[in-house]
Structure 1
């Protein structure tokens, strides 16, 4: 059979515990089966999970559609996010920076998603999840040191994190990212302002955002 991972040639390699024939790729040496009884083992499943997340389907909804357990799905989402790399930050470009306020675990535990939006193509180039502190915001602003201009709201912390030569707080300077905040909240249920769908752990929120932005 043909390898499902690299397209190489597979040879027989014993049997699984359930009696099904197991194969091993001669090129990448990964073991696999011709077909799977449990849907979660299908290699192509990662792409489907990413597409469902981008379309705003919740965890339990994806689990029902793919006929896999929610525990397996959560582990797979975290695994997918680890393989995604952040895009290159273009130099001499204009960016808008803003934060989204949400909660994790319970409504009293507020957390913020700070991110930067490229004004030219409206793409998210970097983001950070954490409390609204200099440490969280600096993870975004430090990657924009080669920007031509950075537009933000009048949050006091940005004055100390961004060079005055490229920092702007002009009227309607953050129109694009403010509109994008609404789009994100509409697509991802866990970011909606009033919702029963929320992240129980910050690592899960980070993984979903990484897939949504760059997956």
Structure 2
């Protein structure tokens, strides 16, 4: 899920992992959408012995997730897309057209952790 911090040219990605049956959030990381940020989320899943990890078709996932547990399906990420819409509805600073926005990356990260686990 993308948002911005400070101004619209400063795009930030909110990466999180979702357990599809219970809807529980396992891990959340706020930062750029690169291997460093994605590694933090995927390492948590790999170390927790996840049966299957379903992602979108970003090439960076091929290097981070073992092939036997990685899958990319057309409709495999519906749960997380629904959660993204709920997030945009509940947290006003994530809306696309609003005067509310985060001024710092630290504040956005704290708000996401409070929302998911608070």
**Which TM-score bucket, shorter chain as reference?**
over 0.9
TM-score normalised by length of structure 2: 0.96
Q: Which runs of 5+ in 1 are unaligned?
A: 1-99
Name the CA distance, whole Å, in 1 between partners of 2:35 and 2:12. Answer: 14
Superposed counterparts of 1:31-180, under 5 Å? 100-145=1-46, 146-180=49-83
Q: Over residues 109-154 of structure 1, what are the superposed CA-to-partner deviations in whole Å (9 max), with x where a residue is unaligned?
A: 1111100000110111101111111000111000001100000011
Aligned residues: 116
Name the CA distance, whole Å, in 1 between partners of 2:74 and 2:107. Answer: 35
Find the counterpart in structure 2 of residue 6 from structure 1.
none
Runs of 4+ in 1 over 4 A off after TM superposition: none
TM-score normalised by length of structure 1: 0.53
Q: Select the structure with the greater relative contact order (CA < 8 A; seq sep ≥ 6).
A: 2
Greater gyration radius: 1
Residue 93 (structure 2) aligned to one of 186, 190, 193: 190
Name the CA distance, whole Å, in 1 between partners of 2:95 and 2:25. Answer: 19
